[in-house]
Structure 1
Amino acid sequence: MKKIFAFVLLGCLISSCDEYLELPNPNRQTTENFWTTQESAQQGVTAIYSMFSKPGGMARWIYFDIDLRSDEGYSASPWVELANASKFIVINYDFVTFRSVWDDHYRAIYRANQVLQFVPEIQMDEQLKARLLGEAKFLRAFFYFNLVNLWGNVPQITVPNDVTTLVPYSTTEQNWALIEADLRDAIAVLPASYTGGDVGRPTKGAAYALLGKALLQQKKYQQALDAFEYLVEGDGKSLYGLMENYADNFTHTSENNIESVFEISFSDKIAGPPTEGEDFADHTLGNHRAQFFAPRGIGWSDGQCRRWVVDEFLKENTVDDTRDPRLATTCLFDYTDEGGPTETMVYGETFQKRFGDSQEVWFHKYQNDYWRSFENYHSPINYRVIRFSDVLLMYAELLNELNRTAEAYPYVDRVRERVGMAKLSDVKPGMSKADFLDQLKHERVVELAGESVRWNDLCRWDDLDSQAGIDAIELRDPDFANFVLGRDKLLPIPQTERDINVNLQQNPKW
């Protein structure tokens, strides 16, 4: 029976059955029949954005890889492997916080590559086409920016590749070059602002800001200053400023405000499964960070803030001799309310009642306690990737690096004065270049703690490149006792990726 079946099957394959089997299914979308209309071009770009809401996009795991691995945060999770990942104790190179970010970032890049390959051939409104291609370039640069900062020498893929394509890794320098080129292309076509339903897409200013960040990370100081110039003193100056209320930068009621240079949109409209892996039509569009970083009894409490961050705020009072108001927004701890544990409210109950005399600290930014008494996987708060205050502080850092320290003071003063702090030019005039950088390190903590910038700051300042630097960090964060010089600045390339692609080379010492 098996022989007869084989004979019939063979005959079918070499005769008319072959023609029948190759008939296209008219109901199946392919690259040939999908990328044909203006609507499909728009849908293709929307598909890139949808990767932000995936666990490995910007919804969950990247905060573990960036915030918690820095000296600002740590994990005391009962999931030992999760806690160890931020302690630089890694056995499984495919652990979910690494592998998921790698996979979802490359899926986003694949989608951007599809847009960049197929949309140019579509007959459609040329101005809209140029903008959509600019958005795809910006988004590809954004995802590569994260990959390069986390892994360094990663595969550079610029066309829609298939599973048989084994792309070797590119050097960090080659990947930075692609990021720069994509952002310069985006700058040329993206609008300065949007209206209506398009608000939230990357603007010309967002592309300039991300370019500035990429150049600063490479210590290309003058080029980075030139990029930030657009937002700070150039044509885009009127579009950006500082919110009067610092806390408005972290709520769902004041999104896409004048301080937001680029933010990622999240929503609680769809409360589907917060799944790993493939796409689901009803997967959650919310940010999972709040659920994982909320205090125990409310969320998972898998990510917490170091106590030294609190102490940093207490080094200086406002001109009215009150506490820096940014502390209560940044940290949830026993004295978030200056009245202490019995006055500090934690999701409807006092800190004292929930945690007793605990000295624990949680990140307060992006938590939903200002409007509800619970957390879940559906936080609607948009994540501000780049704020204008960050740009101002980076601009000051660049001026200082270019030996223009005196010119840098006003940009730090703008950030300080917003929250009632004295002008730096009044309290610490005439600082040396080295002293000014030390002061900037303080300013960036009290302004930006918990906003996923600290790891890159430590890398840029070379604090992770010497044992003396690591020893100094260890005084603030004991997890750095496990940090191996020359290894832990980068994550390990996922092992299953290397099993599939023999052309990939593992990062040093892993």
Structure 2
Amino acid sequence: MKKKILCSLMAVGLVMMSCKKELDIPNPNEASVEVYWTNADEAVKGVHAIYSTLHRGAISRWMPFYYIIRSDEGRSSSGDPNIINNMDQFLVTDYNYGNAYDIWRDNYVGIFRANQVIANVPGIDMDANLKQRLIGEAHFLRALFYYHLVTLWGNVPLMLEPSTPEDVPPTATQAEVWAQIQADLTEAVNSLPARYDNPSDLGRATKGAAYAMLAKALMQQRKYNEALTPLAWLVEGEGKSIYNLMPNYRDNFLVSTENNVESVFEWQFLMNPAENHDDDTDPRIDNLNTGTSIAQFFAPPGVGWSDGEARRWLVDEFLEEETTSGGRDPRLAASLLFNYTDERGPQNTMIYGESFAQRYGADNERVWFRKFLNDHWKNQEGYSSPNNWRYIRYADVLLMYAESLNATGQTAQAYQYVDRVRQRAGLAPLTDVMPGLNQQSFLTQLKHERVTELTGEGHRWNDLARWGDLGPQLVQRDPAFSNFVVGKHELLPIPTQEIDINPNLIQNEGWR
């Protein structure tokens, strides 16, 4: 049922060095950095180690909270109001709070692993094409990890060589971090294949993934004209014959239809073997590091922890338009679980084998994000979800292209790409229902289109930041934004422990 996953066989000790040299006691049974990088097999395993960073709990579980729940799309109903809710409410007082700090650390783990490959693989005597591809994958993944860091913390240290415990890198500016992301992705574009022929390579970064990430990086800096080039490759160039929209929107979120034609870059997850545990609901299985537990934390009560929920305004957004046949936008039921996921109401809306009315009562108005969940094949969630995170879909690329065209004064040309996304959902083309929009009006409509197409997929926070929409004006949709301070809460505070051990780091503005 599941794909083959890219996993690492490298010892943790190879990629994490934290003790002073004089205190190290060599383990004669463990490979060391000095003797490891000698052949192609070790190079491949080194790259697998970078990919495996995406399975770490902080990245695959907690990072979605900071991109989804912290935005106006979501809310937290965690049982501990002093922890996750503080993040949601912009009332962070503990700069070293573990879930946030672990996101910081795990992204730097990935960067360290990428740096190992970039530094050591060039010296290995091996097939030149494979070598180039592996180095390209490392550059792509390093850019991905820095993309997370710059959009969450902004001003972060740039580490481009394998680190040592003595390193005290300075804070880099956001412009410097973005420049490095662009350089890494440009290297990846030039090194990665457009496709992989071997099924065992499923899930690896491709040229299209690198182009899409490069476009995201440029757009986040509002470099829309520059973003047109990578987007054109995806939409009008070679990528046009590789990617397309799936006929059925819901197929983008089912375990049975992963890595489909709409997937530009997809994080691969695999259900962990239960070993001696009764089932995958045992939290200890989270340590096996091949699945993700985000479904356990996003799923409704009774089948998950419901630490992250959706806000009700999203439902109304989907109901603004009917399909051309007079029906409801099918993306609503694919995106959200609520009392009317089934149009016939709470008695017919099934929540993991029971009706909504049975579980929560007919009038309960709570809403949950559905896309990460496994309700299509399980009656409960657990700590080992095999459901891939569709990190970049082609629909996102089409909307990005439309946004960039509109931003560069080509609004008339932008319509066709929004139309493709709308028509897949059964809606009338925007060309017919809203012809002749000016640049600002088109952007306003595009904001709606990105909600209905991409809600709950982790893009909302960066969308709001790019548009300059983060602020107290969002309070009508999300009351937590009454606490939002412009110039402060766009970024998270640098962990104090990092500043304590590195005098060259500077705390973000507003958090000092």
TM-score (norm: length of structure 1): 0.92
**1:404 and 1:25, CA in 2 relative to 1: closer, same or farther beyond 3 A?**
closer
Report what 2:372 is aligned to: 366
> Can you list the C-alpha shifts for 1:1-44, whole angstroms capped at 9, x where unaligned?
xxxxxxxxxxxxxxxxxxxx999865332112111111110111
Query: Offset of 1:84 from its aligned partner?
Result: 1.5
Report what 1:475 is aligned to: 476
> Can you list the C-alpha shifts for 1:82-119, whole angstroms capped at 9, x where unaligned?
11111101111111221010000000100000011011
Which residue identity is paired with 1:147? L
Report what 1:150 is aligned to: 152
**1:156 and 1:417, CA in 2 relative to 1: closer, same or farther beyond 3 A?**
same
1:353 maps onto 2:358 in alignment: yes
Picking from 443, 456, 476, the partner of 1:437 is 443
The answer to whether the 8 Å contact 2:47/2:114 transfers is yes
What SS does the aligned partner of 1:261 have?
A: strand
Which residue identity is paired with 2:330? P
Counterparts of 1:496 and 1:472 in 2: how far apart (Å)?
33
Report what 1:202 is aligned to: 205
Query: Offset of 1:373 from its aligned partner?
Result: 0.3
Report what 2:54 is aligned to: 52
What SS does the aligned partner of 1:103 have?
A: helix
> Can you list the C-alpha shifts for 1:117-162, whole angstroms capped at 9, x where unaligned?
0111111111101000000000000000010000001000000111
Picking from 433, 457, 467, the partner of 1:461 is 467
What SS does the aligned partner of 1:385 have?
A: strand
**1:119 and 1:335, CA in 2 relative to 1: closer, same or farther beyond 3 A?**
same
Counterparts of 1:94 and 1:175 in 2: how far apart (Å)?
22
Counterparts of 1:395 and 1:198 in 2: how far apart (Å)?
28
Which residue identity is paired with 1:305? A
- 1:393-404 mapped onto 2 (5 Å cutoff): 393-404=399-410
Report what 1:160 is aligned to: 162
Report what 1:33 is aligned to: 35
> Can you list the C-alpha shifts for 1:273-329, whole angstroms capped at 9, x where unaligned?
99xxxx999613111110000001110000000000000001100000100000001
Counterparts of 1:395 and 1:479 in 2: how far apart (Å)?
32
> Can you list the C-alpha shifts for 1:208-244, whole angstroms capped at 9, x where unaligned?
0000000011111111011111110012210000000
The answer to whether the 8 Å contact 1:271/1:282 transfers is no
Counterparts of 1:52 and 1:397 in 2: how far apart (Å)?
29
What SS does the aligned partner of 1:236 have?
A: helix
The answer to whether the 8 Å contact 2:286/2:383 transfers is no
Query: Offset of 1:483 from its aligned partner?
Result: 0.7
Report what 1:414 is aligned to: 420
Which residue identity is paired with 1:209? A
Counterparts of 1:262 and 1:126 in 2: how far apart (Å)?
25
Q: Which runs of 5+ in 2 are unaligned?
A: 1-22
1:316 maps onto 2:318 in alignment: no
Which residue identity is paired with 2:68? D
Query: Offset of 1:355 from its aligned partner?
Result: 0.5
> Can you list the C-alpha shifts for 1:394-443, whole angstroms capped at 9, x where unaligned?
10001100111000000000000001100000000000111000000000
> Can you list the C-alpha shifts for 1:350-385, whole angstroms capped at 9, x where unaligned?
101100121100001121010110100111011011
- 1:275-290 mapped onto 2 (5 Å cutoff): 283-290=288-295
Which residue identity is paired with 1:65? Y
The answer to whether the 8 Å contact 1:271/1:378 transfers is no
Report what 1:423 is aligned to: 429
Counterparts of 1:350 and 1:241 in 2: how far apart (Å)?
35
Report what 2:137 is aligned to: 135
The answer to whether the 8 Å contact 1:268/1:284 transfers is no
The answer to whether the 8 Å contact 2:274/2:285 transfers is no
1:484 maps onto 2:485 in alignment: yes
The answer to whether the 8 Å contact 1:330/1:363 transfers is yes
Report what 1:12 is aligned to: none
Counterparts of 1:118 and 1:438 in 2: how far apart (Å)?
48
1:303 maps onto 2:308 in alignment: yes
Report what 1:256 is aligned to: 259
**1:402 and 1:352, CA in 2 relative to 1: closer, same or farther beyond 3 A?**
same
Report what 2:452 is aligned to: 446
TM-score (norm: length of structure 2): 0.91
Report what 1:176 is aligned to: 178
What SS does the aligned partner of 1:60 have?
A: helix
Which residue identity is paired with 2:179? A
Counterparts of 1:93 and 1:285 in 2: how far apart (Å)?
29
Which residue identity is paired with 2:52? S
1:389 maps onto 2:395 in alignment: yes
The alignment yields a C-alpha RMSD, in angstroms, of 1.9
Matched residue count: 481
Counterparts of 1:48 and 1:383 in 2: how far apart (Å)?
17
> Can you list the C-alpha shifts for 1:146-182, whole angstroms capped at 9, x where unaligned?
1000000100000011111111110000000100000
Counterparts of 1:30 and 1:320 in 2: how far apart (Å)?
64
Runs (4+) of structure 1 exceeding 4 A deviation are: 21-26, 271-274, 279-282
Q: Which stretch has the larger CA shift, 187-196 or 22-31?
A: 22-31
**1:361 and 1:156, CA in 2 relative to 1: closer, same or farther beyond 3 A?**
same
What SS does the aligned partner of 1:422 have?
A: coil
Counterparts of 1:201 and 1:148 in 2: how far apart (Å)?
23
Identity %: 53
Report what 1:91 is aligned to: 93
**1:271 and 1:506, CA in 2 relative to 1: closer, same or farther beyond 3 A?**
farther
Q: Which has the larger radius of gyration?
A: 1
Counterparts of 1:368 and 1:178 in 2: how far apart (Å)?
37
What SS does the aligned partner of 2:423 have?
A: helix
- 1:334-345 mapped onto 2 (5 Å cutoff): 334-345=339-350
**1:37 and 1:280, CA in 2 relative to 1: closer, same or farther beyond 3 A?**
farther
Which residue identity is paired with 1:143? F
**1:32 and 1:164, CA in 2 relative to 1: closer, same or farther beyond 3 A?**
same
Counterparts of 2:324 and 2:402 in 1: how far apart (Å)?
22
